[in-house]
Amino acid sequence: MAESKINFYERILSTDVWVFRIGKEQTPFYVHSGAIEHQSRALSALVRKPYSESTEKTVLWPDVCHEDFVRFYEFIHTGDYPAPLLSHEDHKDEVKPEMAKSSNIVYNCANCIRSNFSIMCNHCRINMVGRTDNALTRQADGNLIVCMTTLPPASQSSTDKLSFSKVKKAFEAKDYCPTLPREAFRVLYDAVPLSGPTVDYKPIFLAHARLYALGDKYAISSLKSLTLSKLHRALLNFKLCDERVEDVVALIDFVYSNTAPSSEEKLRELVVDYVISEENTIGKSDSFLELLGGGGDFVQDHQKKLFQLLA
């Protein structure tokens, strides 16, 4: 039987606190061993190694940067982590769609939409009255999701007499927390920045790749799967153009410098598959041709994949 979250966190809080010294600066981070040891056998062995009472419970990770450890810390507590946020300057060419200024546009909270309005807060319950359609856009507006639903003109009927049934319905419709605090984390974890010639995607690609390398080193299968999924989504959202081929080249270089050749190596497979799918654009780039000229495992994997497709 799966351990309940209540017992899970209770057990974590009852375990020893270890100091993880991160990066060349050895920045200290304090982590309960219980949050670490259940991730993999390798990490369990790391925090369960014999020590004397006079020895500080310390782990040195000089090759992990500060930002990556913070994401790893979020992952071991929540099962997810956010990608790096791009600065406002990166989005200077972004044109935000203007929302029509109409009283017929209503806004519904993300919780109610995700539940298909089976459970509604007071705000959404009011908006649902007299709907003529359920056309929802998935465009985020802070913690809300815009619902482009046309409402008919308000009814001019006379006010009904007060009844206990109406009082009960009014009570049931109350919602003291229309947007749950956890929704802010979901928006952050699921956010995918816009792409364009001026948007540098290298920080996003490399953040996912570095966490994959960490998960690979300590055999954290769940972290490896998550990073692959997030990198795949980022690549799908990435609008490749001549100006941004260098972002992909940087990803290739990191992946093939920090993973071992293996038929089971999923990160290398993902990168090669993406490159092949965008061969018409990438293949014309000088930086990519320079990468091919250097030889190595990527060139072999790239050529092998091409031959498979041409066979």
Same domain, 262 and 300: yes
The answer as to whether 51 is a domain residue is yes
Query: Which of the four pLDDT bands, split at 50, 70 and 90, describes residue 22?
Result: very high
Q: In what order do the strands lie in the sheet with 106-109?
A: 106-109, 144-147, 140-141
Judge if pTM exceeds 0.85.
no
Same domain, 57 and 20: yes
**So what's the pLDDT on residue 55?**
62
**Element holding 256 (H helix, E strand):** helix 245-258
Which single residue is written with the structure tokens 């749950």? 180
Same domain, 230 and 278: yes
Distance CA 267, CA 232 (A): 10
pLDDT at 53 over 50: no
Same domain, 220 and 281: yes
Provide the domain count of the chain. Answer: 3
Same domain, 165 and 198: no
The answer as to whether 71 is a domain residue is yes
Same domain, 198 and 293: yes
DSSP 91: G
Q: Tens digit of pLDDT for each residue in 211-245?
A: 999 999 999 999 999 999 999 999 998 989 888 99
Mean of the per-residue pLDDT values for the chain?
Answer: 77
Alpha-carbon Rg for the chain in angstroms: 25
The answer as to whether 168 is a domain residue is yes
Round to the nearest angstrom and report the end-to-end CA distance of the chain: 48
The answer as to whether 99 is a domain residue is no
Distance CA 16, CA 30 (A): 10
We report the CATH number of the domain holding residue 37 as 3.30.710.10
The answer as to whether 189 is a domain residue is no
Query: Which of the four pLDDT bands, split at 50, 70 and 90, describes residue 140?
Result: very low
User: Between residues 260 and 179, which one has the greater pLDDT?
Assistant: 260
Same domain, 284 and 211: yes
The answer as to whether 96 is a domain residue is no
Is residue 305 exposed (0-12), middle (13-18) or buried (19+ Cβ within 10 Å)? middle
Give the domain range for residue 206: 194-310
Lowest mean pLDDT among 58-67, 155-164, 271-280: 155-164
**So what's the pLDDT on residue 269?**
95
Query: Which of the four pLDDT bands, split at 50, 70 and 90, describes residue 18?
Result: very high
The answer as to whether 26 is a domain residue is yes
pLDDT at 191 over 80: no
| Structure token pair of residue 181 | 């605090």
Packing angle of the helix pair 266-277, 297-310 (nearest 10 deg): 60
User: What's the rounded mean pLDDT across residues 70-96?
Assistant: 73
Same domain, 222 and 173: no
Same domain, 222 and 137: no
pLDDT at 103 over 60: no
Same domain, 258 and 305: yes
Distance CA 187, CA 267 (A): 26
Query: Which of the four pLDDT bands, split at 50, 70 and 90, describes residue 51?
Result: low
**So what's the pLDDT on residue 52?**
43
User: What's the rounded mean pLDDT across residues 54-60?
Assistant: 76
Distance CA 311, CA 304 (A): 11
**So what's the pLDDT on residue 9?**
80
The answer as to whether 247 is a domain residue is yes
Same domain, 293 and 210: yes
Query: Which of the four pLDDT bands, split at 50, 70 and 90, describes residue 75?
Result: very high
Lowest mean pLDDT among 122-136, 192-206, 291-305: 122-136
**So what's the pLDDT on residue 284?**
87
pLDDT at 29 over 90: yes
Same domain, 259 and 198: yes
For residues 213-240, one letter each, b for 16 or more C-beta atoms within 10 angstroms of the residue's C-beta and e for the rest, the string is bbbbebebeebbebbbebbeebbeebeb
Distance CA 137, CA 113 (A): 11
**So what's the pLDDT on residue 215?**
96
Beta strands in the chain (DSSP E): 17-22, 27-32, 58-61, 106-109, 140-141, 144-147
Lowest mean pLDDT among 189-193, 287-291, 296-300: 189-193
Q: Tens digit of pLDDT for each residue in 148-164?
A: 444 445 455 544 555 77
In the chain, pLDDT over 90 holds for what percent of residues?
39
